[in-house]
Amino acid sequence: MSEIIGSNTTYSTWGVMRTPLGVDSPYASGTVKSDYGHNTEYDKGFTATAGCFFRTSPSYSTDNPPPRFVYEDYSTSGLFYMWGLLYDGNLLVQDDYDQLAGETVTMTNGTFTLSVDAWDAVLGGQTVSGGLGSIISIGKLTAF
């Protein structure tokens, strides 16, 4: 049975294929996504350039929060990774991951260069320093 695209309460062809990146850290709750049917509101996160979204892969479930980077602080080391990667597979299309690799992540207490390990489902994330704090900015991305 086919879905009726464009219904007032279900899928559209455009909105569900685009998303900003969310943010998360031990010190701040994750990005809140409110989905009302053709009306989606995000409280904070990142866009590619001002107002431009990321393309989600077909495996991304729109029932979940937006794809987001998470920093876990283990005191002597830390882990930086794309949340949900293990469950949802590739959240973004490969082109967008390629654009993120090599970008500088600025945290409250330091910086590091984003590597492909951050979205490697086998490695489970990129090992970084501990005590970095919260995510401030990610290279070319625009915070909102």
Cβ proximity of 32 and 67 under 8 Å:
no
- Among residue numbers 27 through 66, which ones bind another protein (CB under 8 A)? 34, 36-45, 47, 51, 53
Rounded Cα gap, residues 99 and 78, in angstroms: 23
Instruction: At 42, list the tokens.
Output: 């995000």
Least CB distance to another protein at residue 55 (A): 14
Is residue 12 a contact point for another protein (CB under 8 A)?
A: yes
94 binds another protein (CB under 8 A): no
90 token code pair: 């590739």
Interface with another protein (CB under 8 A), residue total 27
Q: How far is the CB of 67 from another protein (least distance, A)?
A: 15
Separation between Cα atoms, residue 135 and residue 23, nearest integer Å: 7
CB of 91 to another protein, least distance (A): 18
- Indicate whether 20 belongs to the interface with another protein (CB under 8 A): yes
Other CB atoms within a 10 A radius of the CB of residue 43 amount to 13
| Of 31 and 115, CB closest to another protein | 31
Query: Is residue 137 at the binding interface for another protein, with CB under 8 A as the rule?
Result: no
What are the Cα distances from residue 80, in Å, to 51, 85, 93, 128?
Answer: 25, 12, 19, 7
* Residues contributing to the site for another protein (CB under 8 A): 4-9, 12-15, 18, 20, 34, 36-45, 47, 51, 53, 144
